[in-house]
């Protein structure tokens, strides 16, 4: 049976058997969304109170050490079931969804969130569930379990980034290396480089090359700060790499009216901003979003320079 079919069946049975999942997925139908128009592209803002635990998660070493890990199998809810993937991974229904179909794909082993050795798994996942965008939040880039390797996936079609890549109004071809197209984004508020190609080895090699260069700039970190989104398009993988400067914007730490509780991760940078508090959903403006993106991401010319190093 294909993974797509297994995942469909998993959703079907979990939404029947598991009260928490059923409740949260049915509430998602009523979730409020607003569209912020930037002219040539748009950003969605989703008011999603259930995401508070993720957005406000304490991810410092001390807090992480003192809590039971919610991704370890012995601590998962008793009603949560999974589909085994690739030796040591399990595909789970995410009980706090942003997407109509939202998965967490977790390692069966409790080990640190790291991408370098697991990039191939991400490609394999995207290939196995082609109706989904698979995404990775680095340990200081939105992952609420930085100590336990995992990916997430959401059904295609929600994040504006996906469509914006194919309509080409913000992308320019930088280069073609070993059959892999490297695309640079412009006038898009955040520095992104995208790769498109069908050669798994070549994609892996280019990613590793980029990773090595980027780690030189952020050599005080457990790994260079990254959000990554991967999907399948025909026989190709489409990979969006979003290098990060900081974990959370200043607004996150302010008090009173100036506070915006927003902790950007792959989905936010993919164009769906999650606000767990209603007041933030109502008040957030275009300028706030531009300001937050410019704090947490590299700008477009910096990204081009980073990538020119590996060309």
- Which CB atom, from 69 or from 124, has the smaller least distance to Zn ion? 69
- Which CB atom, from 143 or from 272, has the smaller least distance to Zn ion? 143
Residues in contact with Zn ion by CB under 5 A are 69, 71-72, 110, 148
Cβ 107 to Zn ion, closest distance in Å? 8
Cβ 91 to Zn ion, closest distance in Å? 16
197 in Cβ contact with 182 (< 8 Å): no
Cβ 225 to Zn ion, closest distance in Å? 21
Torsion of CA 278, 275, 79, 121, to 10 degrees: 170
- Which CB atom, from 22 or from 110, has the smaller least distance to Zn ion? 110
Cβ 104 to Zn ion, closest distance in Å? 12
- Which CB atom, from 143 or from 284, has the smaller least distance to Zn ion? 143
Nearest to 199 by CA among 216, 181, 182, 180: 180
- Which CB atom, from 133 or from 145, has the smaller least distance to Zn ion? 145
Cβ 143 to Zn ion, closest distance in Å? 12
Contacts of 36 (CB under 8 A, 6+ apart): 42, 43, 44, 45, 284, 285, 286, 289
Do β-strands 180-185 and 193-197 pair in parallel, antiparallel, or remain unpaired?
Answer: antiparallel
Cβ 28 to Zn ion, closest distance in Å? 26
> In the complex, which residue's CB is closest to Zn ion?
69
Token digits of residue 50 = 């259930």
- Which CB atom, from 20 or from 69, has the smaller least distance to Zn ion? 69
């Amino acid at each position: 049976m294909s993974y797509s079919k297994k995942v469909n069946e998993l959703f079907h049975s979990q939404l029947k058997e598991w009260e928490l999942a059923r409740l949260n997925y049915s509430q998602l139908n009523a979730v409020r969304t607003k569209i912020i128009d930037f002219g040539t592209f748009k950003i969605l803002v989703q008011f999603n109170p259930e995401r508070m635990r993720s957005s406000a998660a304490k991810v410092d070493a001390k807090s992480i050490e003192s809590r039971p890990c919610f991704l370890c199998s012995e601590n998962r809810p008793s009603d949560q079931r999974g589909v085994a993937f690739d030796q040591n991974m399990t595909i789970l229904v995410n009980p706090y969804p942003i997407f109509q179909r939202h998965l967490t794909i977790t390692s069966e082993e409790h080990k640190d969130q790291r991408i370098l050795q697991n990039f191939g798994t991400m490609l394999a996942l995207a290939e196995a569930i082609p109706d989904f965008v698979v995404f990775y939040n680095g340990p200081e880039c939105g992952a609420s379990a930085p100590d336990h390797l995992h990916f997430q996936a959401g059904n295609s079609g929600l994040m504006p980034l996906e469509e914006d890549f194919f309509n080409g109004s913000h992308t320019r071809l930088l280069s073609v290396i070993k059959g892999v197209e490297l695309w640079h984004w412009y006038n898009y508020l955040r520095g992104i480089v995208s790769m498109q190609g069908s050669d798994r080895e070549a994609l892996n090699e280019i990613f590793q090359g980029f990773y090595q260069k980027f780690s030189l700039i952020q050599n005080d970190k457990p790994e260079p700060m990254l959000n990554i989104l991967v999907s399948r398009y025909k026989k190709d993988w489409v990979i969006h790499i979003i290098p990060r400067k900081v974990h959370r914007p200043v607004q996150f730490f302010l008090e009173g009216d100036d506070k915006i509780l927003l902790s950007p991760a792959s989905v936010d940078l993919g164009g769906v901003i999650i606000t767990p508090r209603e007041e933030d959903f109502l008040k957030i403006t275009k300028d706030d979003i531009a300001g937050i993106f410019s704090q947490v991401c590299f700008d477009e010319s910096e990204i081009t320079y980073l990538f020119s190093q590996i060309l």
